[in-house]
Amino acid sequence: MSRNLLRSLAEQRSIGRALALVERLDSSRPRFLRVLTYHRVDEPEPFARQMEHISRRYHVVSISRVLSTLDGGPALPPRAVLLTFDDAYTSFARVAWPILRAHGFPATVFVPTAFPDRCEPRFWWDRLEQAFAQSSRREALATPVGTLPLGTAEERARAHVRVKRHVKDLPHAQTLTATDELCAALGSPAETHEVLGWDELRALARAGVTLGAHSRTHPRFDRIPHEQARDELLGSLRDLEREVPGLPRVFAYPDGRFDDELVELARAARVDLAFTTQRGVNDLFASDRLRLRRLHIDARDSVAVLRAKLAFSAARLRRVQRLFDRPSEPERRAERLARREHRRARLLMRSLDATLTASLRPPSGAIETLRCAVDPRSPHYERLGRMSRLALARAPALGRRLESALLDTGRLPVRGARLELAGFGSGTTVFRLESGAGDAPTWALKIYRRTLGRGPLHLAAAARRYRERYRRLRADFGDVVLPAAFLVLHAPLRGAPAVGCLQPWLGGTLQDPLELADEALLELLRAQHLEERFAAFARRLLAWRRQGFFPDLTGRGNLVVVPETGRGPARLWLIDYGIFHAVDAPASDSARTKLETLAGRLESLLERIDSDVVHAHGTAD
């Protein structure tokens, strides 16, 4: 459908009523993700009105939130939208980002990494557009598609469209040559590109913008030799990692052009997500992560046109959309594999893990278990665990045999390991791991349940994100954070692959200070000489909160005090590495309430600790 026809139809009242009906029928299932593609945003309007409409009807999510969901974390909100901006134009920082920030919207900017801080010419398509729009030439122009009149603005616009369509399909080197010749004939001066510099990009990243790679020089991958396409893809990933380390590895194919070999190259390069320009909505339980579809939106589109494009991408119309942009056979195979992997991880592996940990749950009666089983708000893992506990309560011997059958220590990273099931949390199952060799240390082995049974590339990506989250905590909170190593291993649960975390085993009596009343907590800190350490931790935590972050302190025992012993002084340890963030990893309503209450409590405790310090100094004087 041509752009002008779509705009004409979208403005009609009858079409507006039809769009309203489609919007009401649009699926709110959290498994679907729309990805919108923008390029230049040169003026605040109508872009600001577009964002206002999106804020009323949709939930804008970040790349990190999408990755967490793909790794088995919390589901996306209904009608989730990811906003992406290709080519890293300076207008993004000047025009688009202030509007997005006012709405609290995250965004992803894809950077052609050869351009920042280099005096390269403008992109060829921008040069062509400017040449035809601003040329003073009025006589006809000889072009590769014939002699075209330029007498009026409409004729120049039509000539631009015809020439661009032809030039775009040439081999990339010929595209650049043809652009140079046409611009010279039209009298258009050579100007430097409008891509953000690295310092500006780093500032955006610190403000919460996700940066992704978009090749180095932005050629169409189907118009250059395959080896050059390979270098463009891998080189841009290296450039971005060098200039702005610690980002998710995400990539957008230039002009959406790719082939199956390049997809597999991206997979081998550990790319987390890659985006095409194929139209449609993505089913996160089925779509290939490296062939995600997007919907092109022009920043100059009216809200009516935006509504029409979003309505056409409604999840309930997914089958119709795929008739226009049919998936290739490799894409279909990847989708079938993704569905099988998701079902196996959720229905089989997590069910087995819930059965394994059932014996650690407190007993519950049949009525309470049934109530939990039918409550839609009750987590799948919790329902399975309660029902398994109820069934095994009458047959303890069966429970022991089942545990023995489910555990497999033969492929653990410690030779001759002795393994003991020790506990479980909201996302991990915990084991005590002993090597059995003299004075060798004892470890706590945490298995991240959401990774159980996933594919090797998914596991490698998840392990990398866990390491990055740990690195950030360690950098900001120092040695309060318990040392840890993250690795992909064959887990104790029947040798299924998973991401594991190895921590030193903290023996003896552990006390969760946040479970104590204020007086008891302060007394514990004084007795163990931990007031200064706790105060420094609390101040840093409150500083994080002002930036929108908060360590996961919602679970019991995530922060512990190890009392002073003959082996060493008392220690305060953060032993869980979860991080809440308002956009990337929002807490549930109950967790958010708990964290807000905790923040207020920490402020009060800091006042009391500071007052005690002042009083102690005054007494000493």
> pLDDT tens-digit profile of 441-450?
888 999 998 8
Give the lowest-confidence range in 228-232, 286-290, 561-565. Answer: 561-565
Tokens of 152: 């009026």
Residues ≥6 apart with Cβ < 8 Å to 24: none
Cβ–Cβ < 8 Å for 585, 106 = no
Residue 567: φ, ψ to 5°: -85, -20
Q: Which residue from 387, 276, 376, 413 is spatially nearest to 334, judged by alpha carbons?
A: 276
Residue 16: the pLDDT is 63
Q: Higher-confidence residue: 382 or 336? A: 336
Where does residue 441 rank: exposed (0-12), middle (13-18), buried (19+ CB within 10 A)? exposed
Q: Are 251 and 398 contained in the same domain?
A: no
Instruction: Judge whether 173 lies within some domain.
Output: yes
Instruction: Judge whether 333 lies within some domain.
Output: no
Q: What percent of the chain has pLDDT over 90?
A: 45
Cis peptide before 46 (omega within 30 of 0): yes
Residue where one domain finishes, among candidates 440, 475, 505: 505
Give the lowest-confidence range in 44-53, 213-222, 447-456, 608-617. Answer: 608-617
Residue 64: count other Cβ atoms within 10 Å of its Cβ: 20
Q: Which residue from 4, 16, 606, 7 is spatially nearest to 311, judged by alpha carbons?
A: 16
Q: Are 548 and 609 contained in the same domain?
A: yes
Instruction: Judge whether 292 lies within some domain.
Output: yes
Q: Are 393 and 484 contained in the same domain?
A: no
Average pLDDT of the chain, as a whole number: 86
Q: Are 42 and 166 contained in the same domain?
A: no
Instruction: Judge whether 286 lies within some domain.
Output: yes
Three-state DSSP at 457 gives helix
Alpha-carbon gap, residue 545 to 580, rounded angstroms: 10
Q: Are 610 and 498 contained in the same domain?
A: no
Alpha-carbon gap, residue 579 to 483, rounded angstroms: 16
Three-state DSSP at 212 gives strand
Render pLDDT for 189-230 as a digit per residue (tens, 0 to 9).
878 889 999 999 999 999 999 999 999 999 999 999 999 999
Q: Are 147 and 108 contained in the same domain?
A: no
Instruction: Judge whether 332 lies within some domain.
Output: no
Residue 404: the pLDDT is 78
Mean pLDDT value of segment 131-156: 89
Residue 403: the pLDDT is 76
Residue 323: the pLDDT is 75
Residue 134: φ, ψ to 5°: -110, 0
Instruction: Judge whether 236 lies within some domain.
Output: yes
Per-residue pLDDT band at 612 (split at 50, 70, 90):
low
Q: Are 305 and 255 contained in the same domain?
A: yes
Residue 15: the pLDDT is 63
Instruction: Judge whether 538 lies within some domain.
Output: yes
323: CATH: 3.20.20.370
Number of domains comprising the chain: 5
Per-residue pLDDT band at 246 (split at 50, 70, 90):
confident
Render pLDDT for 500-517 as a digit per residue (tens, 0 to 9).
999 999 877 889 999 999
Structural domain harbouring 414:
410-505
Tokens of 573: 């340890």
Instruction: Judge whether 165 lies within some domain.
Output: yes
Per-residue pLDDT at 311 exceeds 90? no
Half-sphere exposure of 610 (CA within 13 A, CB side): 9
Per-residue pLDDT band at 1 (split at 50, 70, 90):
very low
pTM for this model (two decimals): 0.86
Q: Are 150 and 98 contained in the same domain?
A: no
Distance of CA 341 to the CA centre of its chain: 19
Tokens of 331: 């894409």
Radius of gyration of the chain (CA): 29
Q: Are 395 and 522 contained in the same domain?
A: no
Mean pLDDT value of segment 29-41: 91
Per-residue pLDDT at 596 exceeds 70? yes
Residue where one domain finishes, among candidates 459, 478, 505: 505
Cβ–Cβ < 8 Å for 20, 303 = no
Q: Are 402 and 255 contained in the same domain?
A: no
Q: What percent of the chain has pLDDT over 70?
A: 92
Residue where one domain finishes, among candidates 302, 327, 352: 327
Q: Are 402 and 432 contained in the same domain?
A: no
Q: Are 616 and 523 contained in the same domain?
A: yes
